[in-house]
Structure 1
Amino acid sequence: MADELPALTPGSMPDGKQAAALFQRFDSRPVQPWSVPSMETIPQGAEGELIRYGMKLMQQTTQLAGPLAEDHSKRYSRNNLNCVNCHEAGPSGLPGSKPYALPLVNAVNEYPKLDPKSMKVISLEQRIAGMFGKGEVELTPQKPEMQAIVAYLHWLGGQAKPGMAMTGTGLLPIAMPNRAADPKQGQGLFAAHCTQCHGTTGEGTPAPDFAKGGGYLFPPIAGDDTYDDGGHMYMVPLLTRFIYANMPLGSSAAAPQLKIDEAYDIAAYINSELPRRHAPQRIGLYPDPAFRPAGFAIPEYFPDDPQGFHRARFGPFPHGSL
């Protein structure tokens, strides 16, 4: 089967059979142990400066590259979030180094790869640019900021073995409750566990210097400065997995503070009741239904099927489909 697979050339669009084989090969990679380098191993000289700049960009994204950045020529990002708000730092303090908090410690070994959202092969640089969104200025591979972030990710993944997956990456695998998520129950849980940081409306806690690119003390999970209604986290199963392993503040996959059922209902409340930016391009996402996640619920894909839309939005979700 490997001989039948197309080359992973960014921009290429494998057919359905090839796509299935590519996804299977990606999911069946051997797994290596979790590994994070020490900050002391960052080299000296120009290479080290580039790595440190990439790390700083991830920590202070909104100040250095956000829509309110002082330097207009570097306003690459669409929103006022820092990369580390989602790709959290672990005990090392390195952005993207917390297990099951969308870590980036093996990112350099995952690209190029087939992206189910577009059914195209994308490069690491394309993935980074996509995460920044469409700001005032396009973040291209030639920009020093892109080169710095890529340099940081190569250093962060320098201890990883090529061609292998890594334990602790992605989101924590959990079994979803065998029921529909309850946003009403989630509203009470949100008030009890989430509002202290994210606010009663979910729009975060702005930093005192927000207007000058300071971003948020605690990031929003509602409004224009967070994921839109076509984003990965707009899927209840994925948001549940992130919340369970990382929220409230101080939680981890090894020491969660919420029950899975609680995270499940909170995710349903956040995604169904809190306002967020509309993504008009979402109708073109996950174009092949065979590779569409069970939790990707947009009404355009469920014409005249309100029950199907409700199941896709709130579950119960088929085991192994997430």
Structure 2
Amino acid sequence: MNAMRMLVTGATLLLAACDHTTPPQSAASVASVPAPATSAAKPVSHFSPPEESSIPNDDFGKQIALGRQIFVDPGRYAKAYVGNQLSCENCHLDAGRLANAAPLWGAYPMYPAYRSKNHHVNTFAERLQGCFNYSMNGKAPPLGDPVLVALETYAYWMSKGEPIGTSLPGRSYPKLSKPAMAPDYARGEKVFKSDCALCHGDNGQGQQTADRTVFPPLWGPQSFNWGAGMEQITNAAGFIKANMPLGRGNTLTDQDAWDVAYFMNAHERPQDPRFNGSIPATRAAYHDTPDSLYGVAVNGQLLGQGTAK
């Protein structure tokens, strides 16, 4: 990657599995799960998507290239549907190519699929719509919209040669074993200050250059909203462990990854679009899991109130 690509991919969050299951009434409940030892990474052979230089020079190739442009810079190429400063690449690194960063080639062959998040079988295009609604805090392009067509074309091209419906190594974020100690705000803050603040800023609001986001905001009005998959601590911890700090993935301990994921998600962000007027009722309906801090009080602050854009 060139220097700008490295900056743009200085990501931390957004588009992962967003399914939710059973809750605690407080953040401390995360500690109730028995804690296996730190997970040990083993060398794994991952699928290799085609090189970008092999994009065909024809009308189909133009759609592939457009899909890549939208993926890397949706604020420019899909502006009508984006509501924050994030790009798809912030959570799906290297233009959606990198294993263990929820690559596009890992997702495309797994659809159509039933998702408990919305209780029906989703097409890949519907999955992309969800990304705009939640991770991008925007609005979903209608099915058949040129933005969705280009993104799906890009994902299809990247996935050529893969078996359909087979979960390949590296297709999502790593699933870490539960930590020895319950994720902790104070410990997470220390990790953030030592390993994350340099890129994402002391206040977690990222960095911009010439009106372009080079390191994304991790919370606040310009980050992903409470409906995004990255608000689940499990997803955030796996992404952070494998990929952060940028260029130094797998250097944090599992415990550090859990703690800093907790710290990041213990900050307010835009409201869940499914908010029904009641934080407890919205938690019960959509965030009923120990992995979510929506509707949980942390440091005396009830999370889930949302932020204005």
Q: Which range, TM-score by smaller chain?
A: 0.7 to 0.9
CA distance in 1, matches of 2:138, 2:251: 39
The alignment's C-alpha RMSD in Å is 2.6
Q: Is the 8 A contact 2:181 2:255 kept in 1?
A: no
Match of 2:93 among 88, 95, 98: 88
**Gap regions ≥5 residues in structure 1:** 1-30, 67-74, 90-94, 301-305, 307-322
CA distance in 2, matches of 1:138, 1:280: 12
How many residues matched?
248
Match of 1:238 among 211, 235, 246: 235
Other-structure match for 1:171: 173
Other-structure match for 1:296: 292
One-letter amino acid matched to 1:248: P
Other-structure match for 2:257: 263
CA distance in 1, matches of 2:83, 2:283: 19
Deviations 1:5-57 (A, max 9, x none): xxxxxxxxxxxxxxxxxxxxxxxxxx995231122332221000110010111
Q: 1:268 to 1:112 in 2, by over 3 A?
A: same
Q: Computing the radius of gyration over CA atoms, which structure comes out larger, 1 or 2? A: 1
Q: Is the 8 A contact 2:106 2:170 kept in 1?
A: no
CA distance in 2, matches of 1:183, 1:159: 44
Other-structure match for 1:56: 69
One-letter amino acid matched to 1:42: I
Give yes or no for the alignment of 1:276 onto 2:269. Answer: yes
* Aligned-residue offset at 1:149: 0.7
Moved over 6 A (4+): 134-137
Match of 2:57 among 44, 48, 54: 44
Other-structure match for 2:208: 206
One-letter amino acid matched to 2:63: L
Q: 1:206 to 1:40 in 2, by over 3 A?
A: closer
SS across alignment from 1:206: strand
CA distance in 2, matches of 1:59, 1:288: 29
Deviations 1:203-248 (A, max 9, x none): 110221x2xxx3x111110112212233222122221111111111
CA distance in 2, matches of 1:137, 1:265: 31
* Aligned-residue offset at 1:136: 7.6
What is the 5 A alignment of 1:145-156?
145-156=147-158
* Aligned-residue offset at 1:160: 0.7
What is the TM-score when the length of structure 1 is the normalising length? Answer: 0.70
What is the TM-score when the length of structure 2 is the normalising length? Answer: 0.73
Other-structure match for 2:145: 143
Q: Is the 8 A contact 1:117 1:286 kept in 2?
A: no
Higher relative contact order structure (alpha carbons within 8 Å, sequence separation ≥ 6): 2
Deviations 1:141-180 (A, max 9, x none): 2221211111100001012111211111111122121321
**Gap regions ≥5 residues in structure 2:** 1-43, 276-280, 298-309
